[in-house]
Structure 1
Amino acid sequence: MNIHQFYLKHMAKQTGYRATWEPNRPLFVGAIGKLERGVFTIFTNLEKEGIIPEVVEDETEGFWDYTSYDSVSINFKLAGQAPLAGSALTDADAGVTIDFKNNEAVVFQADKTLTHQIINMAEIEKAIIEKYRKDEWPKDWLIVVQLIEAESATIIISNSSNNQIDLKAEANVGTSHLKLTDASLGLHVVREQGSSFKILAKNGIMPLYRVMGIRHPLFGKPGLSTKSLTEEMDGVLEVQDFDPEELNSVDVETNG
């Protein structure tokens, strides 16, 4: 399994959300698109289709912190502290040493997160059904109905066993509040024993989302259905849960 397939399956299982690939790819609530091997490609949006979404977001910011259980250790080092054995960090450096014990592990930290979601899905469903009956809405179109936005995030996906990464901070060297998501620290890799995919303290990304669409053969698991349809319809508008089979549906190029 390649790194993108592992990450999408792993995050869906652990969080209940779809993970954006690549994690820094732009996305927005109301986007309409298709999934190709788990990658969401935008085709249009609700407003361009004449449907106006009502979107709300959290009033308070959150923090997402997920680390693969029993597979990752994270050690923060302040300036003046002795580094871990084998680390490339010096006594004067502030930074982080991350050890991955196997080749399928994730560090996911997202700071100052807001959840954006559509709240007028009943109206949207009615409009989509009308378009679908007129053959104006492709069955495989999906709508982004919920989205996690992070002011900053660090995502590291290991794809080698016994991988160790040393990240050095360039700024605020004496701080006692080192955070993987703090972009002001200027964290960068000074040594890595194995290999991994990394986004380090990236600002303004949309790492997690949910989609709804007409029931599709690839997505057999029932989710939220805003209402039932008449017998002449062969599907319902529902949350499309992640299905591992979709990773093999279309062959597209991915990093990693």
Structure 2
Amino acid sequence: MDGYQVYRDAMTKDQWQGWWVTWPLSTRVRLGHVYDRKSDGVRRAGDLAARGIPFQREHGTPDGTFIYDSNESVDVAFKASGKTPAALSALTEADAGASVTFTRGRTAFVVFREYSQSGISDVRGLSHALVSAWWNKEWDDSLLAVTSVVAAAGATVLTAAEGGAVAELKVSASAGVGELGMADLALGASVVRHSALGAQWTGTDVTPFYQVIRLRKNWLGKIVAEYGPRPPGRGALPSALPPLLSEEIGDDPEAALEPGDRTEELPFHDPENE
């Protein structure tokens, strides 16, 4: 099991169940991004705005700190600036940081600082717009649209390949003033020494989790059976949805949509982030 898989499994067991996990974390996911799942990963396919599909944004949870330590199987020893470092430490006396030790293998230690969630609020409008685009052959049923995103100001992700794995973190100088806390480990952090880690990532401005929707394929099949084949589309003048179909979407907008299946989730293959 590689480091990504350990991290992904740890994140989606409880709080983030039903969410897709961004990997690598350097990939920026935004509301309205459109993706297409290929055999080698998830690829960008533009965004809703560029496709003429409007949406309304809502801000959900306020900023907070997310900490995951694999049911306390991780020991963290803080080192404040001005304190003498431990023997064999890669930190200097002036550095602030921490030593992270894993007591079990295939476990994760994760800190997201100042994280918050935002999403698309107008499900009825989005559903109608996506079906209209599909009706005019401007949207493929394989495409995924991002409808919720969790963003964080800073992140530290470590996984252990085996028990006894160790990582030593150096954090921002501004965190070294006063007593250190877990949130400080995602403030300008860098790994300065490590042993037996499976994965490691530190950075800022991350979007670690996101949710996607697609048009429900069996619903689309029903629409073709009831309303006949779609107009020519793609180059022809756009055609309005049949009135009864438009009314059906208005009555039950979620019937046309389904969440992306987690079994389809793959790391990103996105040239913009390579």
> Distance between the aligned counterparts of 1:9 and 1:215, measured in 2?
26
Retained in 2: the 8 A contact 1:36–1:246? no
Q: Within 5 Å, which residues of 2 pair with 1:191-202?
A: 191-200=193-202, 202=203
Letter of the 1:240 counterpart:
G
1:220 counterpart residue number: none
**Quick one: which of 157, 175, 179 aligns to 2:178?**
175
More helix by share: 2
> Distance between the aligned counterparts of 1:95 and 1:246, measured in 2?
34
Task: Give the % identical residues.
Answer: 24
TM-score after normalising by structure 2: 0.73
1:195 Cα deviation (Å)? 2.5
Q: Within 5 Å, which residues of 2 pair with 1:114-153?
A: 114-153=116-155
Retained in 2: the 8 A contact 1:36–1:251? no
1:113 counterpart residue number: 115
Distance verdict in 2 for CA 1:33–1:139, change over 3 Å? same
Deviations 1:83-128 (A, max 9, x none): 5676555666532010122332222211122211001121111121
> Distance between the aligned counterparts of 1:42 and 1:252, measured in 2?
8
List gaps (5 residues or longer) in structure 1.
218-227
Q: Secondary structure at the match of 1:9?
A: helix
TM-score after normalising by structure 1: 0.77
Deviations 1:152-182 (A, max 9, x none): 2222233333201122346254531341022
Letter of the 2:122 counterpart:
N
Question: Higher relative CO (CA 8 A, sep ≥ 6), structure 1 or 2?
Answer: 2
> Distance between the aligned counterparts of 1:174 and 1:232, measured in 2?
62
1:7 aligns with 2:7: yes
Distance verdict in 2 for CA 1:181–1:126, change over 3 Å? same
1:74 aligns with 2:94: no
1:100 aligns with 2:102: yes
1:161 aligns with 2:152: no
Q: Within 5 Å, which residues of 2 pair with 1:195-214?
A: 195-200=197-202, 202-214=203-215
The structure 1 segments of at least 4 consecutive aligned residues displaced by more than 6 Å after TM superposition are 250-253
1:29 counterpart residue number: 31
1:13 Cα deviation (Å)? 2.3
Distance verdict in 2 for CA 1:132–1:238, change over 3 Å? same
Q: CA RMSD in A?
A: 3.2
Distance verdict in 2 for CA 1:85–1:35, change over 3 Å? farther
**Bigger Rg, structure 1 or 2:** 2
> Distance between the aligned counterparts of 2:38 and 2:159, measured in 1?
21
* Worse-matched range after superposition: 75-84 or 134-143: 75-84
1:81 Cα deviation (Å)? 5.1
Retained in 2: the 8 A contact 1:26–1:206? yes
1:61 Cα deviation (Å)? 1.7
